Structure 1
C-alpha cells in the first residue's frame, strides 16, 4: 500500500511509536531508569538539558493560533514560542492539542523527553512525528525547520537530528542564563516590539541567502 500526504503521517503516528519503543535501549545515567517496555522514568531534579523540573509552569498563548502551551517562563518561553508560531505561520495552522509543553509525567521514552518536565521543550504534533520515526517532513517543511534552527543560533536543538529521532521535538539546548540564549531571546523580543516587518510571519525561509546560511549551519552540526 502506498501512503502519501496526511494518510502517510497518520499511519506513521499510529504505528511507528510501538516499533520505536521496542527498539530503544537504556541510554544510562543516574536520573533515568529504563523499563522493559521501552518507557523509562526520569528521577532527577533537573531535566537532561540542566533546567530544574517544574511543579507549576506558566501557560502561554502561541501568537496567531490562539493555542496555549505550558512552559518555563523567561527566555525559554520566548524562544520556544517563536518556534511554534513560525510552524503555525509557515508550515501549517496549529489546532487544539497540536503543541505539548510541560508535563508532570516522569515517564519518558528517551532521556531528552525529560526536558518537558522543566518546561524547556515542546512537541508539535507528536502523534504525527513520534520517537524513532524519521523522514516524515516534506522538503519545504524541512527547509523551514532548518531556517528556524539557524536563526536561533544553536539555542534550540531539534529531535530530528538526534540518534533516537523525534521530529516533533524542539528543546532549549543551553542552560538558563547562557549568554547566547539571552541574546537570541532579546533579538526575538526586539522583533515582537518592532513594526511587524521582522520575525515570525515575515520571514522567507526560501530566500537564497537564508538557504545558504541554513545549509552551512547544518554542515557545522554534522
Structure 2
C-alpha cells in the first residue's frame, strides 16, 4: 500500500496534547477517508486489549527512550520492542523532544477503535512530533522499522481509522516471533553487539526495501 502525504498527516490537536491520547488517535488526521464520520466512543470492558495482552497496571513501568529526553509507560514485556521502535523513530524519523512526544499506557477505557485498547495493556505507543506529516523518505524508514521487527509491530497507518502516530504489538505475549524478537533485542543491549544508537543497516538496501514492501502488503490487507 502506497501512503499519500495526506494519509500520514497528524492533527494539530495531537501536537498540542499533554500526556493523554484524547484527540491523538481519533482527530481529523486519523480519519480513514476524507469526510468520514468519526466512530462513536465506547467503553472497553474486556480484561485483555484487542491484541490479546492482559490489562494489568501492575505490569507497567516507566522507560526512557534511549538518546532522547522522553519517558513512556509501557508493559514491561512489551518494552524492548516498543522502545526499539521509538529509538529508531527518534534518531531516523522525528526527534522526540519531551515525554509529550511519546505516549504509552493509559487507564481511560473510552475508545473509538478497538486497537486503542492496546494502550490499556501498555502494548502500544504513540510517537508524535511529525508536524504536518511524514515525507516519503520518512515513510520508508517507518516501513524499514516494521520489517526490522518481523511483523511483530503494526503501524496505525495500516489500520482503520488510520493513525500515523500509532504503533502496537500485533501478536500475543506468548507468540514465538515476539519472544524471539524480544530476546534478540535484549541480548543486543546486554552484550552491546547491536548497531550503535542511530546507526543501522542501510534502509535503502534493495533487500531491506523488498522485505519492507512485502510486509506492507501483508499488514495493509489484514
TM-score normalized by structure 2? 0.78
The residue number in structure 2 matching 1:30 is none
Given the superposition, is the C-alpha separation of residues 210 and 194 from structure 1 closer, same or farther in structure 2, using an over 3 Å criterion? farther
CA RMSD for the aligned pairs?
2.8
The residue number in structure 2 matching 1:87 is 89
Determine if the alignment matches structure 1 residue 117 to structure 2 residue 123: no
The residue number in structure 1 matching 2:178 is 181
**Which ranges of structure 2 fall in alignment gaps of 5 or more residues?**
16-22
Aligned residue pairs total: 197
Q: Any residues of structure 2 matched to 1:138-149 within 5 Å, and which?
A: 138-149=135-146
Which structure carries more relative contact order (alpha carbon 8 Å, separation 6+)? Answer: 2
Structure 1 residues 97-106 or 189-198, which shifts more? 189-198
The residue number in structure 1 matching 2:209 is 211
The residue number in structure 1 matching 2:19 is none
**Which ranges of structure 1 fall in alignment gaps of 5 or more residues?**
26-37, 130-135
The residue number in structure 1 matching 2:20 is none
TM-score normalized by structure 1? 0.78
Given the superposition, is the C-alpha separation of residues 127 and 213 from structure 1 closer, same or farther in structure 2, using an over 3 Å criterion? closer
The residue number in structure 2 matching 1:46 is 48
Confirm or deny: 8 A CA contact 1:78 1:189 kept in the other structure.
yes
The separation in 2 between residues aligned to 1:103 and 1:220, in whole angstroms, is: 29
Given the superposition, is the C-alpha separation of residues 200 and 212 from structure 1 closer, same or farther in structure 2, using an over 3 Å criterion? farther
Any runs of at least 4 consecutive aligned residues in structure 1 with deviations exceeding 6 A, and if so which?
Answer: none
The separation in 2 between residues aligned to 1:167 and 1:9, in whole angstroms, is: 7
What is the SS of the residue equivalent to 1:170? strand
